[in-house]
Each structure stands twice: as structure tokens, then as C-alpha cells.
Structure 1
Amino acid sequence: MSNLYEVVAKGGPLMLPLVGLSVASFACAFDRAVFWFQVLRTEDRVAHHILDAAQYSLTDARMIAEKARSQPIGRFMLAALKLNQPNPETFRLALETAGDEEFAKMRRGDKMLETAVAIAPLLGLLGTVTGLMLTFANLNVGGATLGAEQTTKAAAGIAEALTTTACGMVVAIIALALLRVSVTLQSQQMEYFSKIGGELELIYRQVWYEPWTNELAKAGSAQLSSELSVGS
């Protein structure tokens, strides 16, 4: 802890916002790690449980999805299953809308990491400039030799320049790595949601929608036949 304090002290006042960015980045990383751990641990089991139930009962599938509303995949599938006898286009639209909402939640924290990636190197560069300015301000250019006090002040300016530069680069690299991991997981989720949504829509079209349309067609034919018989 004392070594960390010494590093912050050597970096000068610009180390404070760098420390703040690093703390915010790690807090965001912890929040996203908990979120993705919970999602990846259970979503495949929940999704296939709902798909299996949808083969024989949409009501059972909807009840399972309602119990899994804490999971993004549960809310995604529930958005379509809770509709009352929708046509396939409405069914797909419900899935797409719910997917967009879940993807927006998955991107939470990305702006913070993008800010750290952009600002941290600039703060490090600014610390370099101010450190070099401090160094040159304490150099006695006209003198033949430098005194011990001037040498100490010059070294302090160089230390500040190098410390802020290094810390800014470290914060930016860590934030960029976290951002890339988050973006990769989001891309995988988009593909997974598309796959599960397609399977659910296919089950709905093959198992549930066609019987309804056939029944409606039969009812319409029966009504037309009765009207023709009455008219004759």
C-alpha cells in the first residue's frame, strides 16, 4: 500500500483522475463479470428447457420463461410466448424487440470503459508535459554545474513525467482489454439469441400456428357452405 501511495505521489496531481478512472474501470469490470457469470452459467439450460416445453405446450413454456425472468434469455423468449395467438410476423417482432432491449442492457458499462481508453493516455501525456516543464524550470541552464537541490527537483520532474505516462498507458490497456472482452461476449450473445429465437419461431410455425390457420379455414368453409345452402 505504501508503494502504491509513493507511485501516486510521484505522479503529481494528474494521478488523481487516473486513479479515479482505474477504480471506475475495475468496478465496471467486477459488475460485468458477475453479470456474465450468471448469464453464461444458466442460459443454455433455461433456453432448451423452454424450447422442449414449447413442443407440447405453449402455456408450460410461458410459465418456465416467467420463472426465468431474471435471465436475459428468459425475458427474451417470454416476450413472444406471452402473446395471445399471434401471427408469425408479430411473434418475430416481439422477439426482435425484446432482443434489442436485452442487448442494450448488456452494453451497460461500455461507455465508461471507452472513456477510460480515450482519456487515460491523454492524462498520461499531459503529465509528461507538465513533468518536463517542471524539470526545465528547475534547471539552471546558465550555470556551469547543477547543485544538489536543482538535481533533486529535476529528477522529481522527470519521475512525474514518466510515472503519469506509464500509469495512463496501463489504465488504457486494462480498460481496452475489458472492453474487448465485453464486446466479444455481446457478439456471442447476439448470435445465440438469434439461434434460439429462430428455433422458437420455427416450433411456433410448425406446431402451433398451422393448426390454428387450418381450423380457421375449416370454420370459414363451413360458414360459407351454410350460407350457400340457406340461399339455395
Structure 2
Amino acid sequence: MDILDLFYKGGPAMWPLLVLSILSLSVIFERLWFWLRILTQEKEIVTRVLDAARDNWEVAAEMAKRATDQPIGRFLYAPLSLRNIDSETFRLALESTAEDELAGMRRGEKLLEAVIALAPLLGLLGTVLGLIHSLRSIRIGDLGTESTAGVTTGIGESLISTATGLIVAIVSLAFYRLFQGFLVNQVKVFRKAGNEMELLYRQSPPNFSNSTSVIAEETSRNSFNPPRKRGKSTFPEPPAPPNTPDSLES
């Protein structure tokens, strides 16, 4: 009841502040769940994919494909999903995917920035409106009497909106900075994993067509019947020309 009482005493500015606080909390909880899943799984994904890439690129591609529900998995799978690429294309695939994934990690950032900027201003607006309402009822003849006690009470209540706006902005700013720190750390993780992946590629480029060529070779070998060895012909040889006098003379 005390919270509801303070809410109503805060004035009309408390309603937009309530909306901003709900939006801010929804973004904060969604981002916390998002970062919790990433930070607990990405290290294992990077280690497994890079270890597999040192021995077999096809196994590494399969592991990265299974982890495409994570940003780091999609980042590592992007170049491995291509076939017969050179080192420049390999690097471009890593860079473009990293930009997309990092942009997705900034989701909700603009909303938190808007809450941080608007909440104190709305709180201050509520305080100004409360002061206007309180000071309007003051009369010069009532100064110094007990009738001005209600005015001071109204001024104190009008400051509730300012305090609420500051609280909403401070909480939003704290989590905003936390998420920014996570994002900076992700840039380092992507850069390190991408450099190691590119280094492994330059040392031993993947050849995903090996298994396909082997299968095709086996198929063609089974379906192709080599010609028989050349032996004695089964057809009769043409008869020799008769010994005519003309041929004998020549």
C-alpha cells in the first residue's frame, strides 16, 4: 500500500515513468538471459571447433553447424559452409558474419538509452508540475501561518517523481554499461577465434570435396567395365590374293 500511495502522490508523471520502467526491465531480463547462455557455452564451442579443425575440417564444420543457435557457432560456421574458397573469401565470410552477430548483440541498446535520457526529465517535469500546483494555492496573507503546512507537504510529494525518474535511469544505466562490457568482450572473442581459424586455414586449407570425389570414384569404378584384353581375333582373316601371272612377274 505504501508503494501505491507514493505512486499516486507522485503525480501524472508517474504513469510514463511506469511505462519506461517496464520497458527497461523487459530489456534487462531478456539481455541477461541472452548473455547468460552465450557466456556459459561459447568457450566450449570455440575450443571444440578449433580442435576439430586441426584434424578434420569436415568434423569441425559439423560441430559448428550444430552450434548455430549461438552467435559464435554461426560465426565459425559461416566460412565452413562454403565450398572451394580461397583465403580472401574465408576472411570476408568471417568479417561479415561477425558484423551481423555483433549488431544483433546490441538489440535493446537504443531503448535503454532512451530510458536513461527520458526518465530524469519526466521526473523533473513531474516535480515542476507538482510545485506549480502547490504554489498556486499559496496566498501572501497565509505566509507564516499553519495553512502553509499543506504547501510544504505538496512540495515534498512532488519530489517523488524526480526520485523515481532518477532510480529508473540509474538502474537502466548500470545494466547498459554491463551489456556494453559484455559486447566489448565478444569483439575480442570473435577476433581471436577468427584469427585462429584463418591461421589453421592457411596452414591446411579444407578440401570438402574429398569425400564426394571418393564416392564418385568408387561409383564410377563399379559401374565402368574395362574393355577386354586384346587377344586372337575371332573373325577369319581375309584370304590372300591369288598368285596370278601378273603378280608373279611383278
| TM-score of Structure 1 vs Structure 2, range by shorter chain | 0.7 to 0.9
Aligned length: 208
**Counterpart in the other structure of 1:27:** 26
Percentage of matched positions with identical amino acids: 42
Indicate yes or no: 2:103 matched with 1:104. yes
Supply the AA of the counterpart residue of 2:162.
T
How far residue 160 of structure 1 moved from its aligned partner, in angstroms, is: 3.4
Deviation track 1:5-37 (CA, whole Å, cap 9, x = no partner) reads: 111111011001111111111111100010000
**Counterpart in the other structure of 1:82:** 81
Instruction: With the length of structure 2 as denominator, give the TM-score of the two structures.
Output: 0.79
**Counterpart in the other structure of 1:191:** 188
How far residue 107 of structure 1 moved from its aligned partner, in angstroms, is: 0.3
- How does 1:35-184 map onto structure 2 within 5 Å? 35-143=34-142, 146=145, 148=147, 151-152=149-150, 154-184=151-181
Distance 2:171 2:80 in 1: 41
Give the 3-state SS of the residue equivalent to 1:34 in structure 2.
helix
Give the 3-state SS of the residue equivalent to 2:68 in structure 1.
coil
**Counterpart in the other structure of 1:14:** 13
Deviation track 1:158-181 (CA, whole Å, cap 9, x = no partner) reads: 133210111111111111111100
How far residue 145 of structure 1 moved from its aligned partner, in angstroms, is: 5.1
Structure 2 unmatched runs, 5+: 208-250
Structure 1 unmatched runs, 5+: 211-232
Deviation track 1:87-113 (CA, whole Å, cap 9, x = no partner) reads: 111101100111011111100011111
Structure with the largest fraction of helix: 1
Deviating beyond 6 angstroms after TM superposition, the runs of 4 or more aligned structure 1 residues are none
The higher radius of gyration belongs to 2
How far residue 146 of structure 1 moved from its aligned partner, in angstroms, is: 4.3
Deviation track 1:137-158 (CA, whole Å, cap 9, x = no partner) reads: 011123455454x632x24531
Are residues 4 and 187 of structure 1, via their aligned partners in 2, closer, same or farther at CA, if it must alter by over 3 Å? same
How far residue 77 of structure 1 moved from its aligned partner, in angstroms, is: 0.5
Supply the AA of the counterpart residue of 2:181.
T
Distance 2:126 2:164 in 1: 10
**Counterpart in the other structure of 2:226:** none
Deviation track 1:178-212 (CA, whole Å, cap 9, x = no partner) reads: 110011100000011000000000000111269xx
